Amino acid sequence: MHKTRYNALRIKLHLSPRGPLLIKAGGISANPTLPDMQFVRTFHPEKGETIYIPGSSLKGVVRGFVEKALRTIDNQQSWQWACPTFPDDKASCAKRLQEEEKSSYIYGHSCGACRIFGHTRLKGRAAFTDFLPVNDIKTEIRYGVAISRLSHAVGAGPFEMEIAVAGTFEGHLILENFELWQLGLLALALEAMNQGLLKVGFGKNRGFGDVKVEVVEVTLEELAYGAQDAVWRGLGAFVGDPEIQSYRLFGPHRIEGMPAPEQVETVGFYVRRVYGPGAWHQAARHLMELTLLPS
Ligand SMILES: [Zn+2]
């Protein structure tokens, strides 16, 4: 069923640090108590070498938030639960379903977090692209020390940290073949990040990682058949009851009364609608209310 693309959503986001932000470069440090405190860099064909926010680091943070939210609900009759994150844990979705062949069973018996972000046997539905600077990012060098967790004494340092303090990064959150509750949870995560409840990168306990999240534009594409501008449809609206049962898709499969798009065009079999930030916030409220309220 999921070889067909039924719906897809692309949210263009701007992330701007509200204070110190440090996404550490990966790799193995020679001295584990002195990690590499440089901001991660990439090579961009036009901008040259630049600091950036890897999509994988945002995915990790948002996945963690979604898991926590799901564990507070913990309803295993539904999507509203999260498995133990470690793939080696016997109860994790990856481990429980490792011998399973049927893709509908794997999807249907994976937890809410794995249905969105995937596991070793299941491709995720959501992904963040890398976030690149859209203007000059102001960086500073700060000095820090590592505090020993046991003795509370200074363990190592001082060491240098390269932090971003101002500027804007741009990238996308992309979803494909999604259920509406998945979009509701992701909208909630973006909201939490913008409110400073969900921090990004290194030093969350030192007050690092508070970012402003701006939704610049949202593009929704879905199969044109049966499309109506004020209705958003999840995966269950495009398939029949047998698939809703076998994949255990959860409603609502349609939400009516959604805001009017700024632009509508038909592209082949698909209709493409573009929304500005105001319309998105209205849509996000509907999604959160209708998909996340305890049923
Ligand atoms: Zn899981």
Separation of CA 92 and ligand 1 centre (Å): 6
pLDDT per position as a tens digit, 95-116: 999 999 999 999 999 999 999 9
* Residue percentage of the chain with pLDDT more than 70: 91
* Cα–ligand 1 centroid distance for 224 (angstroms): 32
Distance 116 CA to ligand 1 centre (A): 9
3-state secondary structure of 22: coil
Structural domain spans, the chain: 7-292
Closest CA to 125 of 135, 133, 115, 137: 115
Q: How confident is the model at residue 75 (pLDDT cuts 50, 70, 90)?
A: confident
Distance from the CA of 9 to the center of ligand 1, in angstroms?
Answer: 23
Structure tokens at 293: 């309220």
Expressed in angstroms and rounded, the spacing between residue 153 Cα and the centre of ligand 1 is 38
Q: What is the whole-number distance in angstroms between the Cα of residue 260 and the centre of ligand 1? A: 35
Taking the centre of ligand 1 as the mean of its atom positions, its distance from the CA of residue 216, in whole angstroms, is 31
- Amino acid in the structure at residue 218: V
Q: How far apart are the first and last CA of the chain?
A: 27
Residue 83 CA to ligand 1 centre (angstroms): 4
Q: Separation of 118 CA from ligand 1 center, angstroms?
A: 8
Q: Are 269 and 222 in contact (CB under 8 A)?
A: no
Q: Are strands 270-275 and 169-176 parallel, antiparallel or unpaired?
A: unpaired
Token pair recorded at residue 62: 């948002």
Q: What are the tokens at 234?
A: 């999840």
What value, to the nearest 5°, has the Cα angle with vertex 78 and ends 72 and 83? 55
Residue-averaged pLDDT of the chain: 91
| Ligand 1: centre distance to CA 109 (Å) | 9
**pLDDT digit string (tens) for 206-216?**
899 999 999 99
How many angstroms does the Cα of residue 63 sit away from the middle of ligand 1? 11
Kindly state the percentage of the chain with pLDDT values over 90: 75
Q: Which of 15-24, 39-48, 183-192, 226-235 has the lowest mean pLDDT?
A: 39-48
Q: Is the pLDDT of residue 266 over 80?
A: yes
Cβ–Cβ contacts within 10 Å for residue 161, how many? 22
Distance 278 CA to ligand 1 centre (A): 33
The two structure tokens encoding residue 285:
């409220």
Distance 119 CA to ligand 1 centre (A): 7
Give distance in angstroms: CA of 105 to centre of ligand 1: 13
3-state secondary structure of 150: coil
